[in-house]
Amino acid sequence: MEIFAILVCIFLFLSTLVISFPFIKKNKPTSKPKLPPGSMGWPYIGQTLQLYSQHPNIFFASKQKRYGEIFKTHILGCPCVMLASPEAARFVLVTHSHLFKPTYPKSKEKLIGSSALFFHQGDYHTRIRKLVQTSLSPESIKKLIPDIETQVISSLESWVSVRHVINAFCEMKKFSFNIGILSVFGNLENNYREQLKENYSIVEKGYNSFPTRIPGTAYSKALLARKRIHEIISEIICKKREQKLIEKVLLSHLLNYKDEKEEMLTDEEIADNVIGVLFAAQDTTASVLTWILKYLHDDQKLLEAVKAEQMSIYEANERGKIPLSWNQTRNMPITHRVILESLRMSSIISFTFREAVVDVVYKGYLIPKGWKVMPLFRNIHHNPEFYVNPQSFDPSRFEVSPKPYTFMPFGNGVHSCPGNELAKLNMLILIHHLVTKFRWEVEGYESGVEYSPFPIPMHGLPTRFLRD
Residue-wise pLDDT for 238-286, tens only, equals 888 877 656 678 998 898 888 888 889 999 999 999 999 888 878 889 9
**Closest among 289, 311, 307, 287 to 299, alpha carbons compared:** 307
The pLDDT of 319-329, averaged and rounded, is: 94
- Considering the domain boundaries, does residue 307 fall inside one? yes
173 CB contacts (<8 Å, ≥6 apart)? 282, 283, 286
The pLDDT of 309-315, averaged and rounded, is: 97
Rounded to an integer, what distance in angstroms lies between the CA atom of residue 270 and that of residue 254?
6
- Considering the domain boundaries, does residue 192 fall inside one? no
User: Which of 168-177, 236-245, 313-322 has the lowest average pLDDT?
Assistant: 236-245
Rounded to an integer, what distance in angstroms lies between the CA atom of residue 357 and that of residue 372?
10
Residue 41 is predicted with a pLDDT of 82
| Residue 34 CA: distances (Å) to CA of 80, 289, 359, 395, 433 | 14, 43, 12, 41, 55
Burial class (CB in 10 A: 0-12, 13-18, 19+), 27: exposed
- Considering the domain boundaries, does residue 234 fall inside one? no
Residue 14 is predicted with a pLDDT of 36
Residue 15 is predicted with a pLDDT of 40
**Closest among 111, 410, 102, 422 to 250, alpha carbons compared:** 422
138 CB contacts (<8 Å, ≥6 apart)? 326, 421
- Other C-beta atoms closer than 10 Å to the C-beta of 204 total 19
Which is more confident, 397 or 118?
397
The DSSP bridge partners found for residue 96 are: none
Classify residue 142 by its DSSP letter: G
**Closest among 309, 314, 446, 449 to 378, alpha carbons compared:** 449
Was 417 annotated as part of a binding site?
A: yes
Per residue in 433-468, pLDDT tens?
999 999 999 987 677 888 777 889 999 999 999 998
Q: Are 330 and 141 in contact (CB under 8 A)?
A: no
Q: How confident is the model at residue 19 (pLDDT cuts 50, 70, 90)?
A: very low
- Considering the domain boundaries, does residue 22 fall inside one? no
Q: Is the pLDDT of residue 430 over 80?
A: yes
Residue 405 is predicted with a pLDDT of 95
CA-angle at 69, arms to 65 and 71, nearest 5°: 90
- Considering the domain boundaries, does residue 15 fall inside one? no
| Residue 233 CA: distances (Å) to CA of 64, 103, 192, 267, 398 | 45, 25, 9, 9, 41
- Considering the domain boundaries, does residue 120 fall inside one? yes
Classify residue 77 by its DSSP letter: T
Rounded to an integer, what distance in angstroms lies between the CA atom of residue 413 and that of residue 94?
5
Residue 444, domain CATH: 1.10.630.10
Q: What percent of the chain has pLDDT over 70?
A: 92
Q: Are 350 and 60 in contact (CB under 8 A)?
A: yes
Rounded to an integer, what distance in angstroms lies between the CA atom of residue 435 and that of residue 437?
6
Q: How confident is the model at residue 96 (pLDDT cuts 50, 70, 90)?
A: very high
Residue 10 is predicted with a pLDDT of 36
Rounded to an integer, what distance in angstroms lies between the CA atom of residue 421 and that of residue 437?
25
Q: Is the pLDDT of residue 23 over 80?
A: no
- Considering the domain boundaries, does residue 323 fall inside one? yes
Rounded to an integer, what distance in angstroms lies between the CA atom of residue 118 and that of residue 344?
23
Residue 246 is predicted with a pLDDT of 62
Residue 172 is predicted with a pLDDT of 96
Rounded to an integer, what distance in angstroms lies between the CA atom of residue 154 and that of residue 159?
9
- Considering the domain boundaries, does residue 37 fall inside one? yes
Q: Cite the beta strand spans of 349-437 per DSSP E.
A: 354-356, 360-362, 365-367, 372-375
Residue 11 is predicted with a pLDDT of 37
Phi, psi of 80 (to 5 degrees): -135, 155
The pLDDT of 309-330, averaged and rounded, is: 95
Domain that holds residue 252: 30-187+247-467
Q: What is the value of pTM for the model shown?
A: 0.87
Rounded to an integer, what distance in angstroms lies between the CA atom of residue 18 and that of residue 82?
49
Classify residue 265 by its DSSP letter: P
Instruction: Reduce the DSSP state of residue 438 to 3 states and report it.
Output: strand
Number of structural domains the chain divides into: 1
Instruction: Reduce the DSSP state of residue 162 to 3 states and report it.
Output: coil
